[in-house]
Structure 1
């Protein structure tokens, strides 16, 4: 049996159903007892980022985990390795989706005029202020982390006339970008995009000090992992105007809790962890995951 605990392209769910018994219940992360009962005895588990694959769940009996995406911080990789459980992330399948998210939201925030609809509907005509928006061409795109998604983001940025500077102590090369330290990237970036996992090293990497090191009016985009930025510090920097805009797609707590800090913060775009989720990316991710799980189980 294969258990799928979060949303997946229906065509690839059906593809798996033609080969095995499948339990498809995208709300299982909200029902931990039912999750444990459903997974017990399964041969494979397919998840996104909300299902915590750790603790007692690891002893349910499955031999592989298909990850509908690339982040692995919700999966106890050491625990899986100890038990011989293979983990299959959908590496590369949502790269373009994330890269497009970064560049398009950065362009919206730089231009600024798209945020003025409420004033226009109220009868105002803020044309002079709207005309102060900035072009993306000629700006510096700073990337912290320079893996596959960051490289694709850099390619899109360069296609629009941006200069690309990147910091990553683990990068094998910096083809297409100027190599720099994190402080140098912070100082140079008109648009800063984060491309790092959430680890002890990266938690609150972008804090009040890092934000103050950025140039006035710079734009921040986080489509990497919640917890990499200090959300309260971002809100403070937006309120003072030091930060020109921010787009956050991932959060320290998902979904947001009632005490979140984002109410009435200007020049802020919030999206529900969908930087890597488009109709096209979902199809690619689902196909890759379905085929890799099927191959592991000898079902292809």
Structure 2
């Protein structure tokens, strides 16, 4: 019986799918390096959250055949190197698109209305001060979407009923009825809200850097539910501290969990969430079941439907 390691929550979300398929399922809180080695060095398949999977770990797991990401991004795994070790890497494209897109639009609305500031003042007993804060309608504004995969497309579709102008930057121009493709410079200059949904790769590291942020309007806001590496975090911190841009909503960071001494915690123009953009019941079930199916396909000798690499078997 082949052993698989999966997060406990995923086992519950799939009603023990892999156990029913005949695998020895070992559940953990999170499949990080230490946990994997302590649980089963002879493991054949692992379902991963976002913990890094070091390249030197493969040689310690001789039976490993598949790493299945519970989600879309797989930047914490070197998929090309995994292929040289005969290990499939898979993800679950589209499974969390609706949830992340809804959170992006929610963040946009919260920044526009300054909802977090108003609520914080009210809870502090400063209702009169809260009443003095006036937000903005997003109707008539321009929203720039950086990255037009499943999530970016879902954001654009949701915004179609808000009366906004949508600008899109993406390396591949997919057909769309919900926006206009422009270059990144134009998007940064013209957008009132810039929302990031582009994959984290070597090419997109610090795609949004000091230069790009400097192009934004002083009244503009940045929303990042992609990956921390897409933004030059230090440049963003400086821009927010200097009020070079109005505000930001951030779900992802260079270091996660976000360190307690991060300057972001001291800013009243930043809305923070701890990488929970896809945390809905519905997305969780779709991601867990999709990743489970990828493990089963790989361990039963098939090519996984959502493989992101091509192992040299």
Q: TM-score, length-normalised on structure 2?
A: 0.87
Aligned partner of 2:39 in structure 1 is 38
Deviation (angstroms), 1:35: 1.9
SS in structure 2 of the partner of residue 125 of structure 1: helix
- Do residues 57 (structure 1) and 50 (structure 2) align? no
| Residue correspondence of structure 1 range 37-186 to structure 2 within 5 A | 37-52=38-53, 54-57=55-58, 60=61, 61-120=63-122, 121-126=124-129, 129-130=132-133, 132-186=134-188
Higher relative contact order, structure no. (Cα contacts within 8 Å, ≥ 6 residues apart): 2
CA distance in 2, matches of 1:13, 1:78: 32
SS in structure 1 of the partner of residue 10 of structure 2: coil
Deviation (angstroms), 1:114: 3.6
CA offsets 1:30-85 (integer angstroms, 9 cap, x no match): xx344224342212111111142532236512111211001011111112212232
**How many correspondences in the alignment?**
297
Aligned partner of 1:21 in structure 2 is 24
Using a 3 Å threshold, how does the CA distance of structure 1 residues 63 and 13 change in structure 2: closer, same or farther? farther
The answer on whether the counterparts of 2:7 and 2:31 sit within 8 Å (CA) in structure 1 is yes
CA distance in 2, matches of 1:46, 1:118: 38
Aligned partner of 2:306 in structure 1 is none
Aligned partner of 1:208 in structure 2 is 210
Q: TM-score, length-normalised on structure 1?
A: 0.91
Using a 3 Å threshold, how does the CA distance of structure 1 residues 43 and 128 change in structure 2: closer, same or farther? closer
Gaps of 5+ in 1: none
CA distance in 2, matches of 1:81, 1:123: 58
Deviation (angstroms), 1:28: 4.1
CA distance in 2, matches of 1:52, 1:226: 18
Deviation (angstroms), 1:250: 0.6
Aligned partner of 2:254 in structure 1 is 252
The answer on whether the counterparts of 1:65 and 1:86 sit within 8 Å (CA) in structure 2 is yes
Deviation (angstroms), 1:139: 1.4
- The farther-off stretch of 149-158 and 202-211 is 202-211
Gaps of 5+ in 2: 303-313
CA distance in 2, matches of 1:172, 1:116: 39
Deviation (angstroms), 1:260: 1.8
The answer on whether the counterparts of 2:30 and 2:49 sit within 8 Å (CA) in structure 1 is no
The answer on whether the counterparts of 1:137 and 1:161 sit within 8 Å (CA) in structure 2 is yes
The answer on whether the counterparts of 2:207 and 2:230 sit within 8 Å (CA) in structure 1 is yes
CA distance in 1, matches of 2:203, 2:110: 31
